[in-house]
């Protein structure tokens, strides 16, 4: 029996046939704040095809909704997905992030968490998801293990689904929480499409953010090769970089377009699985005299400059 919610979601356009993996070059757009730009206008201006839409959280009792309060059907998020697909693109949906109530915490078992992920996957006919595991999800060992077990179950149910696990990093590679995620996954034979690190908010980068991000990625490749008993080349094929464009949350960190070009060249040379950034909302200069914010980068740049670079990534 088709419910009213399911019936409304069936009206969404089918995903376009992908020329490359959906999540490979799909920067984040957040519809909750930051004066989100029109995705179709961004596509036309930059050549970008795909977006990662953030974030699905818990409304309580393992109930997935956008930001924990916007419904899956009938709102701005569903309309945005429809407009991107109508323009020839597609989306990955991101769960988690730093703020809000996380599904990994609200869903008390791996089975329940997998069902929550699956509900969103089925609602939009997704080909790609991202779990941005931060804050209360990543700091708790039991929750980390639950997320990994749930994603392993989702992978079995949807073998063609792209799954990215996005997490923080030190300059010399994953921190203990990240290493724990990798170890938990390897222990049950689970390998996501991409282990995506966020190489920023270091506080005091050792060099330019481009070079520092590359060094952190090289360290992750060594960790994956060791843990999964695979070659470095295979490890790189399961790695992603998710940077932050412009001024980061740290006053002494700035990611320039030159830094992103360094990451792009490295990603292309080593055939990484994913290259993205937070966020399309910020991919524009701030107004004269205005402070950096969720709606501008804080650096001198052309609108959509970072997005245009990401759109060049082909793996």
181: confidence class by pLDDT, cuts 50, 70, 90? very high
Q: Would you please indicate which residues are annotated as catalytic (active-site) residues?
A: 134
pTM (two decimals): 0.93
Q: Is the predicted pLDDT of residue 19 greater than 90, yes or no?
A: no
% the chain with pLDDT above 90: 89
Domain-wise residue ranges, the chain: 4-310
Residues 131, 166 contacting (CB under 8 angstroms) = yes
130-178 pLDDT, tens digit each: 999 999 999 999 999 999 999 999 999 999 999 999 999 999 999 999 9
Q: Which backbone phi and psi does 111 adopt, to 5 degrees? A: -65, -45
31: confidence class by pLDDT, cuts 50, 70, 90? very high
Over residues 231-252, the mean pLDDT reads: 96
Residue 204 has a pLDDT of: 79
Q: Is the predicted pLDDT of residue 13 greater than 50, yes or no?
A: no
Q: Is the predicted pLDDT of residue 3 greater than 70, yes or no?
A: no
The CATH class given to the 4-310 domain equals alpha beta
Residue 18 has a pLDDT of: 43
Q: Give CA 2 to chain center in angstroms.
A: 31
Q: Buried (b) or exposed (e) across 86-101, using 16+ Cβ within 10 A? A: ebebbbbbbbbbeebe
Sign of CA dihedral 297, 301, 303, 307: negative
């Amino acid at each position: 029996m088709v419910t009213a919610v399911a019936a409304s979601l069936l009206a969404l356009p089918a995903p376009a046939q992908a020329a490359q993996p959906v999540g490979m070059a799909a920067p984040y757009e957040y519809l909750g704040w930051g004066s989100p730009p029109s995705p179709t206008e961004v596509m036309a201006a930059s050549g970008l095809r795909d977006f990662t839409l953030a974030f699905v959280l818990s409304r309580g009792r393992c109930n997935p909704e956008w930001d924990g309060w916007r419904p899956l059907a009938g709102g701005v998020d569903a309309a945005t997905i429809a407009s991107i697909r109508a323009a020839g693109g597609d989306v990955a949906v991101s769960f988690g992030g730093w703020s809000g109530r996380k599904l990994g915490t609200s869903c008390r078992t791996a089975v329940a968490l997998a069902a929550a992920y699956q509900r969103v996957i089925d609602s939009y006919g997704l080909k790609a998801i991202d779990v941005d595991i931060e804050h209360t999800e990543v700091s708790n060992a039991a929750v980390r293990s639950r997320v990994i077990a749930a994603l392993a179950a989702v992978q079995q149910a949807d073998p063609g689904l792209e799954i990215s696990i996005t997490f923080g990093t030190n300059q010399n590679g994953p921190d203990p929480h990240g290493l724990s995620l990798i170890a938990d996954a390897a222990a049950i034979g689970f390998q996501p499409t991409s282990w995506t690190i966020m190489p920023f908010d270091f506080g005091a980068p050792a060099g330019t953010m481009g070079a520092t991000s590359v060094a952190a990625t090289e360290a992750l490749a060594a960790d994956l090769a060791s843990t999964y008993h695979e070659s470095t080349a295979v490890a790189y094929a399961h790695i992603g970089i998710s940077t932050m464009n412009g001024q980061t949350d740290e006053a002494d960190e700035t990611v320039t377009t030159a830094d992103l070009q360094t990451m792009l060249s490295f990603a292309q040379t080593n055939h990484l699985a994913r290259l993205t950034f937070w966020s399309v909302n910020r991919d524009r200069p701030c107004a004269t005299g205005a402070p950096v914010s969720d709606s501008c980068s804080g650096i001198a740049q052309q609108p959509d400059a970072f997005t245009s670079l990401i759109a060049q990534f082909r793996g």
